[in-house]
Amino acid sequence: MTETPILAEFLLPTNELRDDLPFYTKTLGMRLESIFPADDPSVASFSGHGMRLRIEKGADVGVGHLRILTDDVDGFADGARELTAPNGTRVSIVPLTPQIEQIDTQHEFAVRRLADEAPWVIGRAGMHYRDLIPSRLGGSIIASHIRIPDGGPVPDMVHYHTVGFQLIFCYRGWVDVLYEDQGDVIRLHAGDCVTQPPGIRHRVVEASPNIEVIEIGVPAEHVTTIDHDFTLPNGKGDPSREWDGQTFVHHVKETATWAPAHIPGFTARDTGITAGTKGVAGIHVIRRGEGPSPAFSHDADIHFTFMMEGTMTLSADGQEPRSLQAGDGFVIPPDMKVQYLDASEDMELLEVALRGDFTTNLA
């Protein structure tokens, strides 16, 4: 049985169709599909650029705003970015491929406590999101505490993000994820993490009950694109492949090596993300070690820490000491002198720094 074709078209008004014909066909490069009546045309249909338009004299509708997406913005419509058709329709010429917006970080000292009952909101694929940096440092970063209460299969689709950096750190439970060129399902257990390089296709498959992850994205607002034509898994690709200069990094807690941290009195495991991102970001898990821990400062543009376990006191110049516990997060601006005090034996921190090759200065 032959399927009946179905088309959709946008209706736009006009005062004089003959004025619009050359604009839509020559300036915008659309194809005239139909026009009537022959002796005094008042209705015409055009197609092109993935859409269909019907322009009708006297139509009781708004003039509309068309967005034409192309990566050759300079070669389209003689390089114009904004146009107005004779019928009043506004036309914007914008890049087809989403661009990463470069945002200057608005530095601040900030503490976000779980006990403050920050709201959880329902986000993509039914996941619950809690914002760990409400100001987002002017839009330069988003840090999200994400949970899926029920577990089981996740109604996710193959997608990718236009980002400068993105981290998924499994905090509680486990989650199964598929990644482009990485073979079959990867299961992240508590303490494991992966980077999601810019543009890598991926899909969340299944999660344990009460799964919790920490997700870091740079910048805070970035485009998520659904790829309806890409199927995962897609096989094992080149392990050295780069996406915008970054490789895929899968860090496994059970095989990690602990070494002295950049802060005396603590130990740390390096996730390998500084190397995998060529210094864009550095991710460490930090535990209490031996000996006293002096005050320190850093020169990273962004330095965010999430309390995964235990308790400690955060002392910072010009600030009241803050008693912190699991679920709390804090941001330390560059050059601020801080000190980690009274750390419990089970204290464990997730430290996120951009850049990853920052310097620590001891007081």
Whole-number pLDDT of residue 283 = 97
Beta bridge partners of 203: 178
Q: Which two tokens stand for residue 128?
A: 């619950």
Residue 236, classified by CB atoms within 10 Å of its CB into exposed (0-12), middle (13-18) or buried (19+), is exposed
DSSP 8-state assignment for residue 101: P
Q: Which residues of 182-192 are buried (b: 16+ CB within 10 A; e: fewer)?
A: beeebebebbb
CA distances, 356 to each of 284, 301, 329 (Å): 10, 10, 19
Output the tens digit of pLDDT for each of the chain's 363 residues.
Answer: 678 889 999 999 999 999 999 999 999 999 999 999 988 899 999 999 999 999 999 999 999 999 999 999 999 999 999 999 999 999 999 999 888 888 999 999 999 998 876 677 876 656 788 999 999 999 999 999 998 888 899 889 999 999 999 999 999 999 999 999 999 999 999 999 999 999 999 999 999 998 999 999 999 999 999 999 999 999 998 888 999 999 999 999 999 999 999 999 999 999 999 999 999 999 999 999 998 899 999 999 999 999 999 999 999 999 999 999 999 999 999 999 999 999 999 999 999 999 999 999 997
**In this predicted structure, what is the pLDDT of residue 124?**
63
If one counts every other C-beta atom within 10 angstroms of the C-beta of residue 178, the result is: 20
Tokens of 358: 């920052």
Can you tell me the distance from the alpha carbon of 223 to that of 98, in angstroms, rounded to the nearest whole number? 7
> Over the chain, what is the mean pLDDT?
94
**Domains, the chain, ordered by start:** 10-94 (3.10.180.10), 110-250 (2.60.120.10), 255-362 (2.60.120.10)
pTM surpassing 0.85? Answer: yes
Element (H, E) at 275: helix 273-276
- What's the confidence (pLDDT) of residue 129? 86
